[in-house]
């Protein structure tokens, strides 16, 4: 029996995520060239990300029919079971027979034919009872956090800390948002071509709607914008709206010297280049050569030629003789604000890593502040929603640095207002300290943090 291309690609992607530590989005990009049919691309993406989002709940349900936990089975068997059960519980349009039979074929192709009978029996049983209420299967002594963590398929430690900090309502909203397919937003790189861009995307079969926050953002559904002429020509870039906002908070002026410290893959740098103009200087830096190569390719696609690309270690003294008027430190982080887009993070991240990220980020911020000119502004940002990586990093830098101040909420709002869709109140995007914060579930975008510091 032949296996559909979509299931083959999903299986291979999940195998590489588990066995090699790869990121699903990167593997899917490589495994889904333009020659793959649109319907196969859509199903492969749905299966891959759906299984990663719901892995804990899938394993909880599968374990009831197994002699040992699914996590301890041979990896090909575990993946085939998860793919099969995800289809049975989440994809109404997929016939149960296809979900079961192709999962059996997957283990045979992986040379685990001895497990074919097991996969067949477990999934057929699951097909017969897929409509049952899950809560009835929980032990009576299960804690509320554990119950919620299983139902919404997150690690218990994450749910416990979010409940303590955000409360039940916001936590449940966050968990549900992490399990939904996130909006696909694009930044318009050439605003003069806006009508041509939307027309080109529509001709490619995509539905385009205005951004919810930014004038120069659009939301796209019905296909992949990366396969369109608008993307190939560099007219648009795929970028979440919260991510698009971060470089705008620098309030860059024509002629400024701007530094993007952790620039790769380069999504925020174009905003700096457009704002500085021909009279300005923009330096885009990163530590790893392969990321610099990817960033250079991105700059070529969007037509950025006047950018100095530098390889450096941002945890050490920055190798520049002159100071910068504007510095962006979009620091490496846990990524807990992007769990809908990168669901594998939730299974890899360990609580002790938050302290490790804190030390790394604080070091980067201190080095960057030393390169900031008097009267200059630095924006520190992450795609994390954890205080150890956000509020506490900024507070530590402010306490240790002389002649710096936090930019107020009012100042931040004034810099951002001109970029926002009419009716969106800039003040609502900042906390009382002037820190930009978004939370999945509360806003329809990724979870981001940004704070601005100026040197007096």
CATH code where residue 300 lies: 3.40.50.150
Nearest CA to 383 among 239, 180, 210?
239
Domain boundary among 133, 157, 173: 133
Number of folded domains in the chain? 3
As a whole number, the mean pLDDT across the chain is 95
Interstrand relation of 217-221 and 449-455 (parallel, antiparallel or unpaired): unpaired
The Cα 122–Cα 125 span in angstroms is: 5
Across 316-324, average pLDDT: 95
Helix, strand, or coil (residue 129) = coil
Name the pLDDT band for 366 (thresholds 50, 70, 90): very high
Same domain? For 220 and 335 the reply is no
Same domain? For 374 and 263 the reply is yes
pLDDT score, position 130? 64
For residues 451 and 384, is the Cβ–Cβ distance under 8 A?
no
Same domain? For 294 and 259 the reply is yes
pLDDT score, position 432? 95
| Containing structural domain, residue 41 | 5-133
**DSSP code for 380:** E
Same domain? For 444 and 295 the reply is yes
Among the options 186, 262, 383, 445, which is catalytic?
383
Same domain? For 229 and 327 the reply is no
Residues in a beta bridge with 327: 259, 378
Name the pLDDT band for 1 (thresholds 50, 70, 90): low
Same domain? For 256 and 299 the reply is yes
pLDDT score, position 386? 98
Q: Which of 88-92, 376-380, 435-439 has the lowest mean pLDDT?
A: 88-92
pLDDT score, position 36? 87
CB atoms within 10 A of CB 251: 18
Q: Is pLDDT at 164 greater than 90 in this prediction? A: yes
Q: Is pLDDT at 2 greater than 80 in this prediction? A: no
Same domain? For 389 and 253 the reply is yes
Q: Is pLDDT at 73 greater than 70 in this prediction? A: yes
Domain boundary among 205, 222, 238: 238
The Cα 186–Cα 206 span in angstroms is: 12
Nearest CA to 436 among 424, 451, 426, 425?
451
pLDDT score, position 132? 67
pTM reported for the whole predicted model = 0.95
Active site residue 333: no
Across 291-300, average pLDDT: 94
Q: Which helix or strand (DSSP H or E) is residue 327 part of?
A: strand 324-330
Same domain? For 392 and 268 the reply is yes
Residue 214 CB partners (closer than 8 Å, separation 6+): 187, 241, 244, 245, 419, 420, 421
Domain boundary among 100, 133, 166: 133
Please check whether residue 401 lies inside any domain of the structure.
yes
């Amino acid at each position: 029996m032949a296996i559909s291309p979509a299931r083959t690609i999903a299986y291979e992607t999940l195998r590489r995520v588990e066995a090699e530590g790869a990121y699903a989005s990167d593997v899917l990009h490589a495994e889904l060239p333009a020659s793959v049919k649109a319907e196969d691309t859509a199903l492969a993406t749905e299966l891959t990300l759906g299984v990663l989002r719901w892995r804990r709940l899938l394993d909880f349900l599968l374990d009831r029919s197994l002699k040992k936990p699914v996590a301890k089975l041979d990896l090909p068997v575990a993946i085939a079971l998860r793919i099969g059960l995800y289809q049975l519980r989440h994809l109404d349009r997929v016939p149960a027979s296809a979900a079961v039979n192709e999962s059996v074929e997957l283990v045979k192709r992986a040379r685990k034919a001895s497990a074919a009978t097991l996969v067949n029996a477990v999934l057929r049983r699951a097909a017969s009872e897929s409509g049952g209420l899950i809560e009835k299967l929980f032990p009576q002594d299960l804690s509320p956090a554990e119950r919620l963590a299983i139902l919404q398929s997150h690690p218990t430690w994450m749910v416990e800390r979010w409940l303590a900090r955000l409360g039940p309502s916001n936590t449940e909203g966050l968990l549900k948002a992490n399990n939904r397919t996130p909006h696909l937003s694009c930044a318009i790189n050439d605003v003069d071509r806006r009508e041509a861009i939307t027309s080109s995307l529509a001709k490619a079969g995509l539905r385009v709607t205005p951004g919810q926050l930014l004038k120069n953002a659009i939301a796209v559904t019905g296909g992949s914008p990366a396969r369109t002429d608008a993307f190939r020509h560099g007219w648009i870039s795929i970028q979440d709206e919260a991510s698009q906002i971060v470089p705008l908070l620098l309030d860059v002026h024509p002629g400024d010297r701007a530094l993007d410290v952790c620039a790769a893959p380069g999504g925020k740098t174009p905003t700096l280049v457009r704002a500085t103009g021909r009279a300005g200087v923009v330096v885009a830096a990163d530590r790893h050569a392969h990321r610099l190569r990817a960033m250079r390719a991105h700059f070529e696609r969007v037509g950025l030629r006047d950018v100095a690309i530098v390889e450096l270690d941002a945890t050490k003294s920055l190798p520049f003789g002159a100071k910068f008027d504007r510095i962006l430190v979009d620091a490496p982080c846990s990524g807990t604000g992007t769990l809908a887009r990168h669901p594998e993070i939730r299974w890899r991240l360990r609580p002790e890593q938050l302290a490790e990220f804190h030390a790394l980020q604080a070091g980067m911020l201190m080095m960057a502040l030393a390169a900031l000119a008097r009267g200059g502004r630095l924006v520190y940002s992450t795609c994390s929603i954890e205080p150890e990586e956000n509020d506490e990093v900024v507070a530590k830098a402010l306490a240790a640095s002389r002649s710096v101040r936090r930019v107020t909420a009012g100042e931040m709002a004034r810099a951002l207002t001109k970029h926002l869709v009419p009716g969106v109140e800039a003040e609502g995007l900042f906390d009382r300290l002037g820190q930009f914060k978004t939370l999945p579930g509360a806003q329809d975008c990724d979870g981001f943090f940004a704070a601005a510091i100026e040197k007096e």
